[in-house]
Amino acid sequence: MGTVVNAANKEGTESALSIKKPKVVFVLGGPGSGKGTQCANIVEHFGYTHLSAGDLLRAEIKSGSENGTMIQNMISEGIIVPAEVTIKLLEKAILGTKNDKFLIDGFPRNEENRAAFESLTGIVPEFVLFFDCSEEEMEKRLLSRNQGRVDDNIETIRKRFKVFVESSLAVIEYYDSKGKVKKIDAGKPVEEVFEAVKAIFTPVEDKA
């Protein structure tokens, strides 16, 4: 994979992203909690650009990149791809978009993702939207998602839940300790979840 942007390097050169300084909201939650579904609603109503880390990784596989096989194997096992790979894809997408407001969905997924993004880009999220949903409900949704994903089978779904609990929850706890987490009950119907989401994105002056 070619280097597309100047990420901060060991000499301390400023990254292209730290110069663009986009406004970023991280959208986190277990697999099937409804991140992609609600991000589409947010884009429509609030003018953000949606970047799903999983979608970018799947596009990278399709593009025939030299990392494709490695990414494919990791996704099939529900494992988190090295931060460097995912961050390069996110940087390329952000820099290739005129908008300066981004929903980054499904990233950071572990402590390595979080720390590398922070140190390479210097970007601190405005806040973290956390979709809280039971495994029972997420399992039901994933098994009927029907998008032909190699990882939406019961064996891989269980592995993904384990990775979420063992690696991803720590990221949410980290941001919670900084007062940045806005938690949503994501077990409700789509419209009800979006009502709660809207309340978060609607500026205070518009709520009156």
What residue ranges bind ligand C5P (CB under 6 A)? 31, 52-54, 57, 74-75, 78-81, 86, 106-107, 109, 113, 151, 160
Which does residue 87 touch among ligand C5P, ligand ADP, Mg ion, none (CB within 5 to 8 A, set by kind)? none
From the CB of 54, what's the least distance to Mg ion, in Å?
Answer: 5
Within a 10 A sphere around the Cβ of 44, how many other Cβ atoms?
Answer: 11
75 CB-near residues (< 8 Å, 6+ apart) = 54, 57, 58, 61, 81, 150, 151
From the CB of 192, what's the least distance to ligand C5P, in Å?
Answer: 22
Q: Which stretch binds ligand ADP (CB under 6 A): 17-25, 28-36, 161-169, 175-183?
A: 28-36
Angle at 78 between CA 104 and CA 113, to 5 degrees: 40
In DSSP terms, which residues pair with 129 in a beta bridge? 27, 182
Does 37 engage in binding with ligand ADP (CB under 6 A)? Answer: yes
From the CB of 105, what's the least distance to ligand ADP, in Å?
Answer: 7
**Which single residue is written with the structure tokens 């789509």?**
190
Of the candidate residues 31, 78, 108, 125, the single one contacting ligand ADP (CB under 6 A) = 31
- Nearest-angstrom CA–CA distance, 186 and 35: 9
From the CB of 189, what's the least distance to ligand ADP, in Å?
Answer: 5
Nearer to ligand ADP, 37 or 65 (CB): 37
C-alpha to C-alpha distances, 79 to 20, 60, 207, nearest whole angstrom:
31, 16, 41
From the CB of 75, what's the least distance to ligand C5P, in Å?
Answer: 4
Which positions from 148 through 207 interact with ligand ADP, judged by CB under 6 A? 189-190, 193
Q: Is the CB of residue 33 less than 8 Å from the CB of residue 184?
A: no
Q: What x/- string results for residues 81 through 110 when contact with ligand ADP is judged by CB under 6 A?
A: ------------------------------
Q: Which stretch binds Mg ion (CB under 5 A): 30-38, 89-97, 157-165, 179-187?
A: 30-38
43 CB-near residues (< 8 Å, 6+ apart) = 49, 50, 103
13 CB-near residues (< 8 Å, 6+ apart) = 6
